Each structure stands twice: as structure tokens, then as C-alpha cells.
Amino acid sequence: MFEATELNLQNQRRERLFRTLFLAMTLLLILPVVVILAMLVYKGGPMISMDFLLTEPTNGMTAGGILPAFVGTIWLVVVALIASVPIGIAAALYLSEYAPDNWLTRAINLAVINLAGVPSIVHALFGVGAFVIFFRFGTSILAASLTLAVMALPVVIVSTREALQAVPQAFREACWSMGATRWQTIRKVVLPNSLSGILTGVILEVSRTAGETAPIMFTGAAFFLPFLPETVWDQTMALSLHLFVISTQVPEVPEALPYGVALVLISLVLSMNAVSIAFRVYLRGKKKW
Amino acid sequence: MSETAETRAEDPAGTGAGKISVRDLTIRYGDKVALSGASFDVYENEIFGIIGPAGSGKTSFLRALNRMSDMTPNMVIEGDIAIDGRPVRSWRNVYALRRRIGVVFPLPVGLPMTIYDNVALSPRLRGIKSKAKLDEIVERCLSRAALWDEVKDRLGSLGSLLSGGQQQRLTIARALSQDPEILLLDEFSIAVDPVTTMRIEDVLKELRSEMTIVLVTNLVQQARRLADRTAFFLTGELVEVADTEDLFTGNSKDPRTRDYVEGRFG
């Protein structure tokens, strides 16, 4: 009575087929990540030591450590964050909570999306023109970080706006209808409940900023500079550029060295992500509806 | 007019207008008319019922009353709504206007903060900081909303995780924390169990002596149980306003009202 028809069987076979197909694609997706990490650990792992992290490069960058580049990357990322996070969140708050739906808002939204699509080398040239030359910041951490900030802004704006939009409209209406202003509503209800989503955007920005090479190449990152930066007006080495330099510009670099630098760079990014993700999980556990 | 309604319907100021007076009110969303040419009065300390099928302009009227229309793109208000004789559109400080009007929504909205903070939110927005004063307001409002006994031991847990019926009473407590002169309820029982509905109805009967209540409902019998007078809205038209008893005893002027309250359509 309940025997499977030919059509039933066919549907079941198809179900299995597609399930397997999609699973295979997913596995294919994480394969490069696993391979990259494994390679880096295998080839670069032996390089990692306290000495490697805490000394300057020597012998024309074919030996020694990476301290100036490591510290420089942290400087660049932190200054870029300080510049872009407040501006990005403010812009996202305006677009999400205040802006009327008119041609101007739509134009701004379009501009934000297009800004995200600008190639990083174009950002680099913009940074040279705007920050290095026009604002007379010279080639400095400030100029490089601001260039990175401009590049990262769309990421922060779009992800923050999405986090804000995820807060149900009913919460806003309830707040407004009891006489709260838009700002009071944002402060009491919208921001506290979108913080974890906003953090995601900042995580993305950190990852992107730390790894970028082109935007800092002409604006503040140095080829070789075995001193630690002291102010934002100094030039600095950076991990990403250092990796590029020792991989392509310097002769007779031992094979393990670039892998070691890459491993440090990716560990830096992953550990920053881990901290933010832990914070997000903590926040998400606290707030619910 | 029944005896009680007549005394309640008296207008102390003698201006001929009620607590809320609506004149030639037309509400549009772009080209779409939600309510056209409605005129009626809501008197002080009455429960004013508004019945009618979905899409008849009931909620739009509430949004026009507390100027939430400002926050709604394309919503156009023509004609006048006045509270105590003062047109709502003339309020520069729309926040002060909204503070005088408590709102309860169809779906319960427990804000994702503690039960205590839900009720203390409006007083805090008004600048009340004293812990003792806030404690007093929270207890009073939760008690009046018939929720205090259920939550007094867990005021620190999330208001948004209460059951639907509890959240709706929390919403009422939050509205009461505004010390409103007018309480608007928009189909409050739509997501609430019958027992809670009856408890809330009892609360409303008690609140009537202190404030003016506008009760939008799609339950005709709820209007009959609670409202002193009732307006029937139908597809954007105010069909009639009458004493609730008259509407339900076959004394309505318009045959469409009789058909609706007797359940022939809607």
C-alpha cells in the first residue's frame, strides 16, 4: 500500500545527489584555507621564536627577525581603526536611523557600494594625492592609515548598517511612541542590541587592513627601516610589505623566512578575530529576544 | 443615550469638543486613502471603541493621533485632530505630546532589556534618576497592569523573554509609566490568551477613571464589553459613532453597522 513509486525513488536519488554535491562544494571551499594554514605551519613554523619576533632584520633582510614590521602593522591597523570606526558607525547610524528615503540617500548608498569596489591600488594613488601631498602628511603612518581607513570605510558602514537593520522595527516604534527621540532610541535600544553585529564589521576591517599591501606601499610603509616608529608622523615597516619585499625584491632569502613572516601575519589577524569573536559570543549570550 | 454615557459625555470645558476632537480627518499613504473625512469626539474618561475589518483605517487613526505619522514615509494627514482643543500638528515638541499618550501594540513588544528597565525606561527618559522613585513607579505600574505578582522576584530578567500575555501586560505597564492622559490600544488581544485578555480588560475598566482610552479592536464583543461609545470604520470611512449599547441592540443608524456587529461580514 505504501510502496515507493518510481517517482519517489527518483526524488530520493536526486535528494542524495544534491546533498552530496553541495557538501562536496563546501568541503572544496575550506580546502584552500586548510592547505594554506598547513603549508605555513609546516614551512614557516620552524622560523617562529621569540628572537624572530623581537629582533630586527639583518644581512640585507635575509636573516634576523621582524620586530619593526610586526610593530608597524599594529600601528597601521590601530590608527586606521581609530579613524574609520567612528566615522563608519556614525555614517551607518545616519543612513539606517535618520536618512529619509530620497534620491540623496540612494546616491550615498550607491557611493558606499562603489567605494567598496575600488581596487586597492587606486586607493593607494588617492592616498598619495590626498594625504601625502595635499594634506602634507608626507609618507607616514598617518597617511598610510588614513588611506587604509578610506578603503575600509565601506566595509564598516555596510556591516554596521546591516547590524542596525537587524534590530526589529517594532522596538523602535515602541520607543518612539513613548516620547523617545531617535537618539534616545538608538542609545537605549538599537545600539546595545546591534553591538555584536557591528563588531563583526570591525573584525572584517582588521583582517583586511592588516593584510593590505598596495595602499601602504606609497603612503607610509618603508622597504627597510630597522627602527620602531614613535609617532604617527614616522614611516614604518609592515608585515605585508615586508613579505612582498623579501619574496620578490631581495636575493638569496632562505625559503623558510617568507613563510615565517606569512605565518606571523595570519596569526596576528586570526588572533584579533578570535578575541572579537569571543566578545561577540559573550554579548550574544547576554542579549536575546 | 444611556444614563452613564450621558454624564460621561459631558464636556467640562463647555467648548463642545471632547478630550480628543477629530474634524474632517483624511489620511493618505501616497495616493492610497486610508481614512477619509472622519469627524468625531472622544470624551474624557471614557473607553472609546473603534471596530471595523482590517484595512479600515483604525491603526492609521492611532498613528495620526500621536504623530507617529511623522515617522512614516508617505503618510499624509489632512484635517484636524485636537487634544484638549489643541491641534496635535501644532505641537513643536512632539516628544512631549507622545509622552502624554500611551500605546499598546497588537503584537506584544517586550524590549530586550530587563523587566525593570522596560518600565523604568520612560521615567528615565523624562530625567527621573532617583532609585527609590523608579522603584515606586515600576511596582505601581506593574501592579496596575496585573503583572507584579508574577514578576516581582525576577525584575532583572529579560522582558523580551516573557510569555506573550505577560509581555502584553508589560507593554501596558510601560505605557502607564508615562503617566498618560490617553491610552491607545491597538488590537491588544490578538496574540494573547483568553484568560489574559480578560485580566487586561479588567485593568482597562479600572483605568477608565483616570484616563481616556481608545480601544481599537477586531473583536466586536470586546468593544461591547468595554466601550462606552463605539465607532465603526469601514474601508476608510467612518460609518457611525454611537453608544455601544445602541449599536448592539439593533439601534444603529446604518444597516452596515448592524450587519457587522451581528457577524454577517467582516
Residues A41 and A67 in one domain: no
Name which of A177, A189, A286 to mutate to probe chain B: the one with the most chain B Cβ atoms within 10 A of its Cβ.
A177
Among B71, B121, B178, beta carbon nearest to A176: B71
Contact flag A287-B112 (C-beta cutoff 8 Å): yes
Q: Do B98 and A288 touch (CB under 8 A)?
A: no
Q: What is the mean predicted confidence (pLDDT) over B63-69? A: 92
Q: What is the C-alpha to C-alpha distance for residues A278 and A287, in angstroms, rounded to an integer?
A: 15
Task: Determine how many CB atoms are found less than 10 A away from the CB of residue B6.
Answer: 10
What pLDDT shows up at residue A289? 67
Are A43 and A64 found together in one domain? no
Q: Based on the domain organization, do A192 and A87 belong to the same domain?
A: yes
Which residue among B107, B110, B125 sits closest to A179, beta carbon to beta carbon?
B125
User: B201-213 burial, b if ≥16 CB within 10 A, otherwise e?
Assistant: bebbeebbeebbb
Q: Nearest-CA distance from A112 to chain B in Å? A: 23
- Chain B nearest-CA distance from A18, in A, is 39
pLDDT tens column, B85-133: 899 989 889 999 999 999 999 998 999 999 999 999 999 999 999 999 9
Q: Where are any strands of DSSP class E within chain A?
A: 57-58, 63-64
Pull the grid cell for residue B154.
Answer: 525576577
Contact A70, A229 (CB under 8 A): no
Check B105 against A170: CB less than 8 A apart: yes
Cross-chain residue pair A101–B73, CB shorter than 8 Å: yes
Q: Starting from the edge strand earliest in sequence, which strands make up the sheet with B86-87, in order?
A: B32-42, B20-29, B75-83, B86-87
At B245-265, the pLDDT tens digits run 888 887 888 889 888 888 877
Full pLDDT tens readout for chain A, 289 residues: 677 788 888 999 999 999 999 999 999 999 998 999 999 999 988 888 888 888 888 877 777 888 899 999 999 999 999 999 999 999 999 999 999 888 999 999 999 988 888 999 999 999 999 999 999 998 999 999 999 999 999 989 999 999 999 999 999 999 999 999 999 999 999 998 898 889 888 887 888 889 899 999 999 888 888 888 888 899 899 999 999 998 888 888 888 889 999 999 999 888 888 887 887 788 777 666 6
Provide the pLDDT confidence category of residue B14 given band limits of 50, 70 and 90: very low
- Kindly determine whether residue B178 and residue A175, on different chains, have CB atoms separated by under 8 Å: no
A125 and A17 in a common domain: no
- N- to C-terminal Cα separation, chain B: 26
Question: What's the grid cell of residue A263?
Answer: 605565518
A96/A201 Cα distance (integer angstroms): 15
Q: Would you call A174 and B109 a contact, using CB atoms and an 8 Å cutoff? A: yes
Closest Cα in chain A to B174: A178
| pLDDT on residue B3 | 39
Tell whether A124 is covered by a domain: yes
For testing contact with chain B, the best of A105, A106, A173, A178 (most B CBs within 10 A): A178
Indicate if A13 and A124 belong to the same structural domain.
Answer: no
Classify residue A1: in a domain, yes or no: no
Contacts of residues B149-155 at CB distance under 8 Å and 24 or more positions apart, as own/partner, are: B151/B115, B154/B115, B155/B114, B155/B115, B155/B116
Question: Can you list the domains of chain B with their CATH numbers?
Answer: 1-100+216-266 (3.40.50.300)
- Three cell numbers at B217? 479592536
Which secondary structure element, helix H or strand E, spans residue B47, and what is its range? strand B47-51
Q: What percentage of chain B carries pLDDT values higher than 70?
A: 93
Strand partners, A221: A236
Residue B173: its chain A contacts at CB < 8 A? none
> How far from each other are the two terminal CA atoms of chain A, in whole angstroms?
47
Query: Which of B73, B161, B178 is closest, CB to CB, to A178?
Result: B178
- Sequence-separated contacts (24+) of B14-19 with Cβ below 8 Å: B15/B85, B17/B41, B17/B82, B17/B85, B18/B42, B18/B43, B18/B44, B19/B43, B19/B44, B19/B83, B19/B84, B19/B181, B19/B182, B19/B212
CATH of the domain at A180: 1.10.3720.10
Residue A32 lies in a domain: yes
Mutation target vs A (from B91, B95, B141; most A CBs, 10 A cutoff): B95
Query: How far is it, in rounded angstroms, from Cα B266 to Cα B260?
Result: 6
Nearest CA in chain A to B164: A289
Kind of pairing, strands B101-104 and B20-29? Answer: unpaired
Rounded to a whole number of angstroms, the distance from the CA of A108 to the nearest CA of chain B is 19
Cα A141 from Cα A235, distance rounded (Å): 6
Total-model pTM = 0.83
Residue A29: what pLDDT? 92
Helix (H, G, I), strand (E, B) or coil at B243: strand
In chain B, residues with a C-beta closer than 8 Å to the C-beta of A284 are none
List the single residue in A100, A176, A189 with the smallest CB-CB distance to B111: A189
Chain B residues closer than 8 Å to A178 by CB: 98-99, 102-103, 121-122, 125, 174-175, 178
A118 neighbors A154 (Cβ within 8 angstroms): no
Chain A residues with beta carbon closer than 8 angstroms to that of B64: none
- What residues contact B69, with CB distance under 8 A and at least 6 apart? B27, B63, B75, B77
Q: What is the pLDDT of residues B147-158, one digit of tens each?
A: 999 999 999 999
Are A92 and A165 in the same domain? yes
A27 and A164 belong to one structural domain: no
Residues A43 and A57 in one domain: no
DSSP letter (8 states) at residue A117? T
State which of A47, A65, A80 marks the end of a domain: A47
- Shared domain for A146 and A68, answered yes or no, is yes
Which residues span the domain enclosing A190? 52-286
Is A66 contained in some domain? yes
Residue A188 included in any domain: yes
Rg (CA), chain A: 24
Chain A interface with B: residues with Cβ < 8 Å = 100-101, 170-171, 173-181, 184, 188-189, 192-193, 287-289
Per-residue pLDDT, averaged over B215-227, amounts to 91
Locate the chain A residue with the closest alpha carbon to B94. Answer: A179
Q: From chain B, pick out residues whose CB is under 8 angstroms from the CB of A171.
A: 109, 111-112
* Residue B55 reports pLDDT greater than 50: yes
Task: Please say if the pLDDT value at position B5 is more than 70.
Answer: no
Same domain, residue pair A241 and A170: yes
pLDDT at B8 over 80: no
Number of folded domains that form chain A = 2
Q: How many CB pairs under 8 A join A and B?
A: 72
Residues A232 and A106 in one domain: yes
Compute φ and ψ for A226, nearest 5 degrees: -80, 35
Answer yes or no: do A135 and A14 share one domain.
Answer: no
Q: Do B73 and A100 touch (CB under 8 A)?
A: yes
Does residue B10 have a pLDDT over 60? no
pLDDT surpassing 60 at residue B4: no
For residue A9, the SS3 value is helix
Residue, of B10 and B266, whose pLDDT is higher: B266
**ipTM of this predicted complex?**
0.87
Measured distance CA(B261)–CA(A172) in Å, rounded = 35
